[in-house]
Structure 1
Amino acid sequence: MKKLLLFALCAFISHASISQIIYEEFNSSKLGESRRLKIQLPRNYDSNVEKKYPIVLVLDADYLFEPVAGNVDYFSYWEDMPESIVVGIMQGDSRYDDCAYDDNTFMPGEKGAKFFEFIGMELLPYIDGKYRTAKFIIGVGHDFTANFLNYYLFKDPPLLNGYINLSPDMAPMMEDRLIERIPKIPGKIFYYVATGTDDIKGLMEAAEDLNSRLSGLKSNSFSYYYDNFDGATHYSLGGRGIPNALEKIFSVYRPISKKEYNEVLLKMDTPIHQYLLDKYKVIEDLFGITNNIRVNDFIATATAAEKKSQWESLREIATLAKRQYPNTVLGDYYLGRYYEETGEPKKAMKIYQGAYDKEEVDFITIDKLLDRADKIKSDFGY
């Protein structure tokens, strides 16, 4: 019995710490029928009651949902992208009708127009109303459904902020329309196209042509990425394109890397603390989420400030760290270092000593702080 209870407890803990998958039947008045949805909520969604999450909308969810949801969960676990709500629409054979376009205008027609309104006027408002969502949406589609997502670029403002086009099968005139439309969009747009050398020949050639045209666009608000995977087929390219797209779109979100530390922070002549503030302001503006600054980023910028002897920046970083992580030694350590280097060792000693009952962070241990306090006391005879 004890073993059974222990197993049940472990299973409960394990279930609570992984992403939640929800299946729903959504009754659409626009379509005049119900649609099957698959929704993945982030880990600990229920416990983080103040947190808001971007949306990743997946068409062709019958086979694209799992690779997208798995990558979103993996990347967000390692903080390479924000935790996100993944919403998949099961389509099956209806994908052709869903994505149908008019033979004259090449814009959504008949059931395609209804499906267009279903997503924009029913599904996404429903998700916004039921879950805690941030104002950032990425769409993922494959061939016909990839083309369909592009229609949302022509709304003012565009419904989606990011477009992941896997081997897109573009409607006639779509390329010309994109070239004309994209420079006119004032807000930030992320746009990714993937094909493979073993993709369907016509689609690969069309993707290469689209790439040559999009890569020449001049727009500060348009971030464009392209991959042509060696040996990838029409279906296998998704397994390589999805993680590449997420990595590129959310590159600014990632923690400060060793390369960024060496090639950016250590070469800065401007205040390093401002770089830290700007990084998180960009994250807030782009993705609609407000997070505490990561401990890793505090340490990276503070260490760079020390090496560059930017003591005022170090003080700013320490003050912000004390505000965001008041129960840890993080801010106390760097504030003490500031006072040490600016000629006030007695203040530094008291700060180190005052943090003896706080939580340790990374290499900053209580022993480290007390050792620094003892050294100051010995050197200056306090």
Structure 2
Amino acid sequence: MKKYVLLVLIILFNYTSQSQVIYEEINSKKIGATQRIKIQLPRNYETNKDKRYPIVLVLDGDYLFEPVAGNVDYYSYWEDMPESIVVGIIQGENRYLDCSYDNINYLPDEDGSKFFEFIGLELIPHIDKEYRTAKFIIGVGHDFTANFINYYLFKSPPLLNGYINLSPDFAPMMEQRIADRLAAIPGRIFYYVATGTDDIKGLRESAESLNNQLKEIKSPTLNYYFDNFEGATHYTLVGRGIPHALEKIFSVYRPISKQEFNDVLLKMETPISEYLLDKYKVIEELFGITNNIRVNDFLATLAASEKTKQWESVRDIAALAQKQYPKSVLGDYYMGRYYEESGNARKAMRIYQSAFDKEEVDFITVDVMLDRAAKIKNDFGY
């Protein structure tokens, strides 16, 4: 519990000291009124002029925006998720009109339809026009608004790529509609539901009922996650659900961990180089992000390739490291290791020697490079 409180304090301090919130008003023709929104841009938004960012859309922005924005800032700082633009819609008591549904078909009624169209036809296009956005949007809602974000599932294609449902207060028939739709959507969807053992009884039972249906869906494009937090109430589960949801949705984005190294990389029978390339291909396809491969991921896959004696993977990954980080010793060191193991010691020695003026990385220092070159020279008499 103490660790959890400390984490929350760190997030809030980090958020308040580093982030700047922009307030805007949008004159909406769809709802016939002015809608206030909050926007948090990534820390380095102004300096990274060519970079594009996913959108995290937050309903109930008057109280849900800050915990979402704080977690997004914290997780992206540690590269556990991509930097993102957080957009909060300030609703207050209007949330019940904004997200209202018809009592016969249980779809958005007149007011709900106006708000539905405001988000899809005015708000998102406005954010896309004014800011550098990637084509990946996550929606976040709590109880009544959590139900509402699910209506975007039924667009073709869905407006949102990810859905974070915090103690959802589902409309009648919605659970079955969600299950049927998620089983049929051909594109990749991320879907998260959170409840708690002390949540409102009807909402907890509804979330558990939906979970029983969704966990049976066998779809390669559905990424589904469910949490039932022990001791969490309707309100406290929000603080636990948000980081869990972000962590799970963006799991593929995270740097390669020790567990992934031991349980996946060291046991691979297929080329480890393909695993690395596939990881970043998925990141690009899902989030619209074309970053360089992280040094951490280069080190992990190269070390695993060396340990499992996948020397062709060492060669291919090292060549990519030389291209992406030409001023670093990283690619040169492992390219030298490849030539050592493939029987071309002279070429390995030259590569080691040529890296004397490059930037050191982790354990790969200039001295290590020159020592390997000297050992080859002594062993072979070059």
Partner SS, residue 351 of structure 2: helix
* CA drift at 1:241: 0.3
Aligned equivalent of 1:251 = 251
Q: Structure 1: how far apart are the matches of 2:123 and 2:100?
A: 19
Aligned equivalent of 1:370 = 370
Aligned equivalent of 1:3 = none
User: What is the identity, as a one-letter code, of the residue corresponding to 2:327?
Assistant: N
Aligned equivalent of 2:293 = 293
* CA drift at 1:123: 0.3
Partner SS, residue 373 of structure 1: helix
Alignment of 1:17-56 (within 5 A): 18-56=18-56
Aligned equivalent of 1:283 = 283
1:226-273 CA-partner distances (Å, limit 9, x unpaired): 111111110110000000001111111111111111111111111110
User: What is the identity, as a one-letter code, of the residue corresponding to 1:277?
Assistant: L
Identity, in percent, stands at 74
Aligned equivalent of 1:130 = 130
* CA drift at 1:183: 1.6
1:251-297 CA-partner distances (Å, limit 9, x unpaired): 11111111111111111111110111111111111112111111011
* CA drift at 1:20: 3.1
Q: Structure 2: how far apart are the matches of 1:208 and 1:269?
A: 39
1:99-126 CA-partner distances (Å, limit 9, x unpaired): 0111111111111110000000000011
Moved more, 246-255 or 371-380: 371-380
* CA drift at 1:179: 1.9
* CA drift at 1:189: 0.5
Q: Structure 2: how far apart are the matches of 1:330 and 1:90?
A: 48
Moved more, 72-81 or 282-291: 282-291
Q: Structure 1: how far apart are the matches of 2:31 and 2:99?
A: 13
* CA drift at 1:21: 1.7
Q: Structure 2: how far apart are the matches of 1:115 and 1:258?
A: 45
User: What is the identity, as a one-letter code, of the residue corresponding to 1:162?
Assistant: G
Alignment of 1:1-382 (within 5 A): 18-382=18-382
Q: Structure 1: how far apart are the matches of 2:271 and 2:190?
A: 29
Asked if the contact 1:19–1:44 (Cα under 8 Å) also holds between the matched residues in 2, the reply is no
Q: Structure 2: how far apart are the matches of 1:139 and 1:30?
A: 20
Asked if the contact 1:183–1:218 (Cα under 8 Å) also holds between the matched residues in 2, the reply is yes
Asked if the contact 1:28–1:35 (Cα under 8 Å) also holds between the matched residues in 2, the reply is yes
* CA drift at 1:182: 1.5
1:312-348 CA-partner distances (Å, limit 9, x unpaired): 1100000000111111111111101111111111111
Partner SS, residue 57 of structure 1: strand
User: What is the identity, as a one-letter code, of the residue corresponding to 1:176?
Assistant: Q
User: What is the identity, as a one-letter code, of the residue corresponding to 1:158?
Assistant: P
Asked if the contact 1:18–1:44 (Cα under 8 Å) also holds between the matched residues in 2, the reply is no
Asked if the contact 2:19–2:40 (Cα under 8 Å) also holds between the matched residues in 1, the reply is yes
Asked if the contact 1:54–1:287 (Cα under 8 Å) also holds between the matched residues in 2, the reply is yes
Compute the TM-score of the two structures, normalised by the length of structure 1.
Answer: 0.94
* CA drift at 1:69: 0.5
* CA drift at 1:356: 1.3
* CA drift at 1:372: 1.1
Moved more, 109-118 or 212-221: 212-221
CA RMSD of aligned residues (A): 1.3
Q: Structure 2: how far apart are the matches of 1:199 and 1:317?
A: 49
User: What is the identity, as a one-letter code, of the residue corresponding to 1:263?
Assistant: D
Q: Structure 1: how far apart are the matches of 2:206 and 2:267?
A: 42
Q: Structure 1: how far apart are the matches of 2:270 and 2:211?
A: 36
Compute the TM-score of the two structures, normalised by the length of structure 2.
Answer: 0.94
1:195-239 CA-partner distances (Å, limit 9, x unpaired): 111111111111111111111122111111111111111011000
* CA drift at 1:164: 0.3
Partner SS, residue 193 of structure 1: strand
Asked if the contact 1:328–1:361 (Cα under 8 Å) also holds between the matched residues in 2, the reply is yes
Q: Structure 2: how far apart are the matches of 1:328 and 1:31?
A: 55
Asked if the contact 2:179–2:210 (Cα under 8 Å) also holds between the matched residues in 1, the reply is no
User: What is the identity, as a one-letter code, of the residue corresponding to 2:49?
Assistant: V
Aligned equivalent of 2:7 = none
Aligned length: 368
Q: Structure 1: how far apart are the matches of 2:42 and 2:356?
A: 35
User: What is the identity, as a one-letter code, of the residue corresponding to 1:31?
Assistant: I
User: What is the identity, as a one-letter code, of the residue corresponding to 1:244?
Assistant: H
* CA drift at 1:18: 3.0
Q: Structure 2: how far apart are the matches of 1:20 and 1:90?
A: 17
Moved more, 54-63 or 31-40: 31-40
Partner SS, residue 164 of structure 1: strand
* CA drift at 1:19: 3.2
Gap regions ≥5 residues in structure 2: 1-13
User: What is the identity, as a one-letter code, of the residue corresponding to 2:70?
Assistant: G
User: What is the identity, as a one-letter code, of the residue corresponding to 1:312?
Assistant: E
Q: Structure 1: how far apart are the matches of 2:41 and 2:313?
A: 38
Partner SS, residue 291 of structure 1: coil
Moved more, 173-182 or 93-102: 173-182
Partner SS, residue 79 of structure 1: coil
Asked if the contact 1:53–1:134 (Cα under 8 Å) also holds between the matched residues in 2, the reply is yes
Partner SS, residue 327 of structure 1: coil
* CA drift at 1:165: 0.2
1:120-157 CA-partner distances (Å, limit 9, x unpaired): 00000111111111111000000000000000000000
Asked if the contact 1:349–1:376 (Cα under 8 Å) also holds between the matched residues in 2, the reply is yes
User: What is the identity, as a one-letter code, of the residue corresponding to 2:184?
Assistant: K
Q: Structure 2: how far apart are the matches of 1:194 and 1:310?
A: 42
User: What is the identity, as a one-letter code, of the residue corresponding to 2:119?
Assistant: I
